[in-house]
A and B are shown apart, each in its own frame.
Chain A
Amino acid sequence: MVGQRNLEGDRTTVVAPRIAHFHSEEEVRRIAVRAQSLRIEVLKMVFKAQSGHLGGAFSAAELVASLYWHHLRIDPTQPTWSERDRFLLSKGHASALLYAALAHRGFFPVAELETFRHLSSRLNGHPDRGLPGVEIVAGPLGHGVAIGAGMALSLRMHVPKPSSLSSPSSHASRARVYVLLGDGELDAGLIWEGAMTAAKYRLGNLVAIVDCNGVQQTGATSDVMPLEPLTDKWQAFGWHVQEIDGHNVAEILNAVDRADEVHARPSVILARTTKGKGVSFMEYDHRWHGGKPDRGQYEQALAELEEGLRAWSN
Chain B
Amino acid sequence: MVELAPMRRAYGEALVELGRADERVVAVSADVQTSDFSYLFSEAFPDRFFNVGIAEQCLVDVAVGLAYEGLIPFANTFAVFLASRALEPILTHLCYGKANVKLMAGYSGISPQMEGPTHHAITDIAVMRSLPGMTIVSPADAVAMRKLLPQVAAWPGPVYYRFSRQEVPVVYDEATDIRIGTATMLRDGDDVSFLAVGTLVSRCLEAAERLEREGIAAQVVDHHTIKPLDERAVVAAAEKTGALVTAEEHTVIGGLGAAVAEVVTSTGLAAPVVRVGVADRFLESGTYYEMLDKFGMSVCDLVAAAHRAITLRDERVGRVVARPTRNR
- CB within 8 Å of B: which residues of A? 128-129, 135-137, 139-140, 142-143, 146-155, 157, 159-163, 189-190, 193-194, 196-197, 201
- CB within 8 Å of A: which residues of B? 23-24, 26, 47-48, 50, 52-53, 55, 57-58, 61-71, 73, 88-89, 92-93, 96-98
Instruction: Chain A residues near B48: list those with CB within 8 A.
Output: 157, 159
| Interface-centre pick from A151, A152, A153 (highest chain B CB count, 10 A) | A153
Asked whether B50 lies within 8 Å of A193 as measured between CB atoms, the reply is no
Question: How far, in whole Å, are A135 and B71 apart by their CA atoms in the complex?
Answer: 15
Asked whether B70 lies within 8 Å of A147 as measured between CB atoms, the reply is no
Q: Closest CB-CB distance, B326 to chain A, in whole Å?
A: 52
Q: Beyond A151-B66, A154-B66, A160-B24: 9 further Cβ-contacts under 8 Å?
A: A146-B61, A146-B65, A147-B65, A149-B62, A150-B66, A153-B62, A163-B70, A190-B57, A190-B58
Asked whether B92 lies within 8 Å of A140 as measured between CB atoms, the reply is yes
Instruction: Chain B residues near A140: list those with CB within 8 A.
Output: 88, 92
Q: Closest CB-CB distance, B183 to chain A, in whole Å?
A: 33
The closest CB in chain B to the CB of A160 belongs to B23
Asked whether B65 lies within 8 Å of A201 as measured between CB atoms, the reply is no
Asked whether B97 lies within 8 Å of A137 as measured between CB atoms, the reply is yes
Question: How far, in whole Å, are A19 and B51 apart by their CA atoms in the complex?
Answer: 37
Asked whether B24 lies within 8 Å of A147 as measured between CB atoms, the reply is no
The closest CB in chain B to the CB of A159 belongs to B23
Name 30 A/B residue pairs within 8 A (Cβ), A-sorted: A128-B96, A135-B68, A136-B97, A137-B93, A142-B57, A143-B64, A143-B89, A143-B92, A146-B61, A146-B62, A147-B65, A147-B93, A148-B65, A149-B61, A149-B65, A150-B66, A151-B66, A151-B68, A154-B65, A155-B69, A157-B47, A159-B23, A189-B57, A190-B55, A190-B58, A193-B57, A194-B61, A196-B55, A197-B52, A197-B58
Instruction: Chain A residues near B92: list those with CB within 8 A.
Output: 137, 139-140, 143
Q: Closest CB-CB distance, B157 to chain A, in whole Å?
A: 13
Instruction: Chain B residues near A150: list those with CB within 8 A.
Output: 61-69, 73
The closest CB in chain B to the CB of A196 belongs to B53
